[in-house]
A = this chain, B = another copy of it.
């Protein structure tokens, strides 16, 4: 009885060990091996881009090197006979279905959201004849390649599946379906985002991540080197090695785009700009004012003098220059946690407001209009935090992307106003919450956004809760976020993976929410991450991993 139960559960585990789960999947029960001469054939793609060629090489390497044994008690040993005598798959043939011009993965990855096509169709016959992967775009092919990589396990040198044939038709439920965000508070700043991008993209399980939201400057430091504004990073970065040069940015953006990831940068304004006071004290009011909590949500205080035309012009030029460094269609101007006390205490701002006959919010609205013009000038669409729309009621263009972080309940208000939303609720997706706070003189040491957000909490999130069907199309997707006051390369992997992969499934596959059946597949992806050098944490003891269901709360 018991043994049967385990076998049955184990089969379930293997059958769906693809993360995120494809839209349609049928599979069989035939063993199939990759031939030692297995190749990925690109003859069906006219003039394949360099980044597609590189992607197929990486996939071939992963297939050879992953060496992940099946997550079963015997790690697959009882199937050794079937595997040894299984037919050999010699070829995966890639084909672009459309007859139009074929773009590179990079070009597809940074295109406007509504122009992206990430769908693919993957067929793996059981008889050893060629597997086929079809898509309308190279980006779709790339997503399909990463799914193909997840079909295989290793035993005694053979790379095999016991579940051929496969028929998979897949495309994302939301766009951008999955995003990862980090910021420069990181103590080993400068390395933070580089590690995210150079390491996590190495995973090449690209359906885990299609957008990297790079909150690139903040109150504590200004690491971005911007042509025409060199003094900013020179004076306001942590140190001379903690700087992203334009060439670093190009490297990161290119590296990401070749791996199907759009890098959306953000320069938060007008709040969280204390660091700018190091080089431009004239543009920042209440810099490092004390007590900081009166003037800011986070130390050090300091905000752009939004009523000053000199400051507005400075910000206009700064944002144009910064946004020009990036390839994405989108650029963030922040707009969270603007503190009124900071402006009330500033004589210059008060003088300007009086002279202009404006309220603070009216001046803020002008400031926002001008700074968003700065983005339009260089062809970018703005992205802002929810307060800009809901609290400060700024006049925003209809295509502005709104990130909702304070409460998922606020999504309803955003879509009601007709704006497109990206889920970023701290209640579900903040990776840094609940593992201790970072403010000093804090005897309990709790973080403001307690408790810890478990993978289960994110996984059971419903992106459409409380919305009318007519509003669904305004939900673009969602992101896990890591604010890095207490993060650094020391814990970036462990605080992120595999927890953050849950939003990949919520936003690629659509919500389903059964944590019990998700867990074995999540183990699978976590083990693959580890095989590729990403230090994902263990979600369960290996005893439980190898026995799906045996460690459930109610067995």
Question: Which A residues are closer than 8 A to B by beta carbons?
Answer: 2, 185-187, 189, 219-221, 238, 288, 290-293, 299-300, 434-446, 450-452, 454-457, 460, 484-491, 493-495, 499, 513, 515-516, 519, 530, 535-545, 548-555
Query: A548–B440 Cα gap in the complex (Å)?
Result: 9
A535 touches B490 (CB 8 A): yes
Give the residue of B221, B438, B490, B545 whose beta carbon is less than 8 angstroms from that of A536.
Answer: B490
6 sample A-B contacts, Cβ–Cβ < 8 Å, listed by A number = A291-B554, A293-B555, A441-B516, A451-B452, A485-B538, A494-B494
Query: A142–B418 Cα gap in the complex (Å)?
Result: 68
A490 touches B486 (CB 8 A): no
Query: A545–B221 Cα gap in the complex (Å)?
Result: 13
Residues of chain B with a CB closer than 8 A to A485's CB: 538, 540-541
Least Cβ–Cβ distance between A465 and chain B, in angstroms:
15
**Chain copies in the assembled complex:** 2
- Report if A552-B441 is in contact (Cβ < 8 Å); known contacts: A187-B545, A299-B544, A538-B187: yes
Least Cβ–Cβ distance between A300 and chain B, in angstroms:
7
A452 touches B435 (CB 8 A): yes
Residues of chain B with a CB closer than 8 A to A488's CB: 537-538
Least Cβ–Cβ distance between A332 and chain B, in angstroms:
20
B443 touches A456 (CB 8 A): yes
Residues of chain B with a CB closer than 8 A to A444's CB: 454, 456-457
Least Cβ–Cβ distance between A189 and chain B, in angstroms:
7
Least Cβ–Cβ distance between A317 and chain B, in angstroms:
26
Q: Which residue of B lies closest to A294 (CB)?
A: B555
**Interface of A: prevailing SS:** loop
A-B complex: 7 closest residue pairs judged by Cβ atoms: A445-B454, A445-B456, A491-B494, A490-B535, A220-B543, A441-B516, A441-B552
Residues of chain B with a CB closer than 8 A to A238's CB: 542-543
Least Cβ–Cβ distance between A173 and chain B, in angstroms:
21
Q: Which residue of B lies closest to A299 (CB)?
A: B551
Residues of chain B with a CB closer than 8 A to A539's CB: 436, 438, 486
Give the residue of B2, B300, B487, B542 whose beta carbon is less than 8 angstroms from that of A288.
Answer: B2
- Report if A440-B291 is in contact (Cβ < 8 Å); known contacts: A187-B538, A221-B543, A493-B490: no
Q: Which residue of B lies closest to A434 (CB)?
A: B452
A440 touches B544 (CB 8 A): yes
Query: A540–B544 Cα gap in the complex (Å)?
Result: 35
Residues of chain B with a CB closer than 8 A to A443's CB: 456, 460, 513, 515
Residues of chain B with a CB closer than 8 A to A460's CB: 443
B553 touches A293 (CB 8 A): yes
B439 touches A552 (CB 8 A): yes
Give the residue of B300, B439, B540, B544 whose beta carbon is less than 8 angstroms from that of A543.
Answer: B300
Residues of chain B with a CB closer than 8 A to A541's CB: 185-187, 220, 438, 484-485
Residues of chain B with a CB closer than 8 A to A439's CB: 540, 551-553
Residues of chain B with a CB closer than 8 A to A442's CB: 456, 515, 552-553
A441 touches B550 (CB 8 A): no
Query: A444–B544 Cα gap in the complex (Å)?
Result: 19
Least Cβ–Cβ distance between A98 and chain B, in angstroms:
42
Q: Which residue of B lies closest to A450 (CB)?
A: B451
A455 touches B451 (CB 8 A): no
Least Cβ–Cβ distance between A239 and chain B, in angstroms:
8
A537 touches B487 (CB 8 A): yes
Residues of chain B with a CB closer than 8 A to A542's CB: 187, 189, 220, 238
B441 touches A554 (CB 8 A): yes
B452 touches A452 (CB 8 A): yes
B434 touches A519 (CB 8 A): no
Give the residue of B299, B452, B543, B555 whose beta carbon is less than 8 angstroms from that of A291.
Answer: B555
